[in-house]
């Protein structure tokens, strides 16, 4: 299949049958139609399935070199695949002249690959010597539009965050594990005695380090030096890269919570200037990709249930730090499958498509 500029660039979605892929296909059908042909690619076991995208039934192709035939300059491939798959296939696609938008961790630390959240650093998309643009981890993506807007207004000097991560970030395996565990403990007196939940769940913790039902798990990723997890260090490094603050002090604690969809974070940000909360609200209300929901007296503040199925980051509980006039505290939620992954990839791809319009 050959892409034709008159009908828009071609788009390949690799990993189309996964959890993020399903959301991306919905998003492509909801946003402005900038694409010509769209082809769907997945592992061999998913090949032959038929999925709907832009109201068209499209057969899923197996991930082989032939699946990319016809892709060339101006075309885009979005990879929603594990890092090892992206690392192998992305260079083969860019060798054809197409641009790769990769959602995995394979290229996020590569200095030749821009790490992009369009609301914050859209201009970085153009600087891609390897022909690849990376998107950040879903936790970073959930907070960075708000943090970036505040940085532009006040000059960020320090950041401390704790994440409350949805099970769905671990893919279908994470969501299914949580649902299995909840079904085990539902309608019982489990949790009244120490160890009840762990005994009921047993070894079936799924992709999590401990039972997630009726529990929180202060761990995500692999062990690194001095007790930090790989996920915590990744959020730190990605925040620095996206904001262009390579020496920014960042402290991160990642926590898994029994929520299916929607990441939340508490954020403490310190700035060069004294914080004016009234002005902060104005900044956040004007920030692209951010919705301010902040009236605790009326019971209005964001929760992951509110953010699920929506595009923006929802921000609330905005308040000046009690002991430091240069610091601000707030809470933010975002759908980890949409803004945390699929939407960010779609936005980057659209920026690239615009270069060839």
Catalytic residues: 138, 263
Closest CA to 204 of 183, 218, 222, 221: 183
Report residue 241 as tokens.
């890269």
Using only C-alpha atoms, the chain has a radius of gyration, in whole angstroms, of: 21
Q: How far is CA 311 from the centre of its chain?
A: 11
Outline where the chain has alpha helix (H). Answer: 19-30, 83-94, 118-121, 138-154, 171-185, 196-201, 230-243, 277-286, 304-307, 343-355
Distance between start and end Cα atoms, the chain: 20
Long-range contacts of 280-286 (CB under 8 A, 24+ apart): 280/150, 280/153, 280/318, 280/328, 281/318, 283/149, 283/150, 283/153, 284/146, 284/149, 284/150, 284/315, 284/318, 286/149
Residue 343 CB partners (closer than 8 Å, separation 6+): 23, 27, 311
Strands 250-256 and 263-271, sheet pairing = unpaired
């Amino acid at each position: 299949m050959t892409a034709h500029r008159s009908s828009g660039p071609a788009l390949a979605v690799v990993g189309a049958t996964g959890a993020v892929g399903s959301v991306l296909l919905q998003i492509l059908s909801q946003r402005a139609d900038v694409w010509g042909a769209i082809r769907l690619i997945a592992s061999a076991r998913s090949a032959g399935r038929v999925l709907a995208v832009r109201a068209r039934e499209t057969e899923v192709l197996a991930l082989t070199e032939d699946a990319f035939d016809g892709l060339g300059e101006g075309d885009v491939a979005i990879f929603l695949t594990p890092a090892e798959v992206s690392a192998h296939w992305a260079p083969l696609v860019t060798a054809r002249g197409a641009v790769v938008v990769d959602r995995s961790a394979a290229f996020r630390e590569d200095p030749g690959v821009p790490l992009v959240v369009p609301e914050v650093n859209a201009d970085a998309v153009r600087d891609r010597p390897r022909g690849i643009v990376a998107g950040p981890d879903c936790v970073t993506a959930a907070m960075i539009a708000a943090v970036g807007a505040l940085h532009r207004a006040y000059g960020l000097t320090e950041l401390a965050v704790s994440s409350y991560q949805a099970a769905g970030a671990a893919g279908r395996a994470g969501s299914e594990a949580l649902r299995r565990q909840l079904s085990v403990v539902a309608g019982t007196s489990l949790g009244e005695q120490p160890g009840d939940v762990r005994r009921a769940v047993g070894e079936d913790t799924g992709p999590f380090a401990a039972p997630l039902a009726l529990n929180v798990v202060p761990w995500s990723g692999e062990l690194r030096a001095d007790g930090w997890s790989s996920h915590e260090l990744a959020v730190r490094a990605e925040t620095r890269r996206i904001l262009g603050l390579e020496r920014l002090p960042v402290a991160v604690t990642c926590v898994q919570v029994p929520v299916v969809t929607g990441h939340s974070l508490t954020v403490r940000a310190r700035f060069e200037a004294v914080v004016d909360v009234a002005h902060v609200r104005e900044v956040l209300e004007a920030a692209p990709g951010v919705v301010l929901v902040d009236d605790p007296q009326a019971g209005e503040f964001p929760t992951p249930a509110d953010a699920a199925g929506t595009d923006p980051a929802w921000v609330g509980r905005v308040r000046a730090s009690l002991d430091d006039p240069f610091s601000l505290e707030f809470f933010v939620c975002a759908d980890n499958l949409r803004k945390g992954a699929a939407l960010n990839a779609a936005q980057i791809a659209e920026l690239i498509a615009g270069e060839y319009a």
